[in-house]
Amino acid sequence: MFTLRSIHALLCLLIWTSIGRAAPPSYEVRFLGEGYTGTAINEAGSVVGNLNVDGTRLRAAVSHGGQPLDLLPLPPGMETSRANDINDAGVIVGAVCPNQYVITQPLAAVWRPVGQSYEVELLGTLQGDPYSSAYAINNLGDIVGGSGFFGWNLGNPVLFTGSGPVRLPHIDAASDVNDRRRVLSGPQLLDLDTMQVQTFPLPPGNWQGFAAAALNNYDDFAGYVVGFSGCSTFPIRYRQNSGWHFLGGCATTTSATAINDRGDTLFYYYYTASGVYLEGEGSFGIGELIDPSQGPWLIEWFGANDINESRQIVAYAINLSTNARGAVLLTPFNRYSVEVGNLAGGTNAAFTIQGATPLASQYLVYSLRGTGSTYVRQLNVTLGVAQPVLFASGRADQNGLFETTVRVPHAATGRTVWFQGAEMNRTTNVVSRVVQ
């Protein structure tokens, strides 16, 4: 049921998104699982989150490249778990718990990929604290989180090290950590190399404070700023090169939730809508990004959780045709794709990759063994083909176009072949063709 305040917040979002923006990009939808809530996505498109097993029990899970989710293992004696973040190497952090309510007695944990599975390790607590949780991990392996006496309010910010948790000085919380080893705490950044803190003054106005949510690798951050009226919170981001930027109007509860290195920022309004500010293009409701060919989807107001450099978004949605509810992976259409020309044994076939990063190295692979999920560590990508073989490589031109011709052997005639393109941190669609 909408209240006057929630309607006001929705109108603020609609007014903001109607001014000075381009046509929205078009996205495809991959449903990741009933009852699954995604919390973070890495550059390979791997999504971590939590599966609601039976209404009270949560289990941490991961989905690679839009594939069905896999539950993460539990240590002995643990019953539930929660995943909060994943880095580009696929390392996942969160917490486990010995009872059915993971927020009540959490213990920080890390899951490291080993082959096709994961190994889990407990990270400990500060001396005297019974509980802890890991909130974020960077690509250097730094893990930050909280430790404390109450599972739902871990008041001591910590860095989890190989020798145990270390209390971080000068700050009150550890919301995120980036590859520059900066830890976000409200409007402050703590440098883990020097342990010095940089404080950013709030924007002009009468404010109570800033609540931090996310940090990118350029030290830009996002969250919400708090005023004093009933409609008091505003979603906001801070960019080092331009300062504060309000993402929309006020609401009783609203916040930015994620920011990538481009500056693209996710945000929501309580009980009304979730949105995204795409740098250089404007603000959009996340639901309006979904291409009509994907069917009717409703993006829940709380669903905007993370966005990567390829502008893939992880959100929570309802399929209005089937009523299935869970995490979805939203991927831009036609931003990075491969096309295959005539495919006949003993001839030269033309391949085109478009939407590539200008001048970036391109790799075209094929598979004769069907589709699957294959992680390529050198490229930080999860391919949608099993046992890929390099078919061609080269460099995209200044317009992001890569064209090549490859000889198709006679032996492939009558076989189904799967093709996919890739570059660092990105993959194209998968094309399936029968060789004539």
Cβ proximity of 421 and 362 under 8 Å: yes
| Contact criterion met (CB below 8 Å) for 104 and 56 | no
- The CA angle 347-433-309, to the nearest 5 degrees, is 110
pLDDT at residue number 36: 95
Residue 7: φ, ψ to 5°: -65, -40
Q: Residue 371: its pLDDT value, please?
A: 65
* 10-residue mean pLDDT series, the chain (436 residues): 36 38 78 95 92 90 89 97 95 96 92 93 97 97 96 92 97 97 98 98 95 96 93 96 95 95 93 90 93 93 89 95 96 81 88 88 87 78 83 90 90 85 84 82
**229-288, pLDDT tens digit by residue?**
889 999 999 999 999 999 999 999 999 999 999 899 999 998 888 999 998 889 999 999
* Beta pairing, strands 371-376 & 402-407: unpaired
Domains and CATH numbers, the chain: 4-332 (2.130.10.10), 337-434 (2.60.40.1930)
Sign of CA dihedral 19, 272, 235, 326: negative
C-alpha distances (whole Å) from 385 to each of 162, 320, 364, 381 are: 36, 30, 11, 12
pLDDT at 179: 95
Q: pLDDT tens digit string along 120-154?
A: 999 999 999 999 999 999 999 999 999 999 877 89
- Give the separation between CA 84 and CA 50, rounded to whole angstroms: 9
Candidates 119, 53, 108; CA nearest to 83 is 108
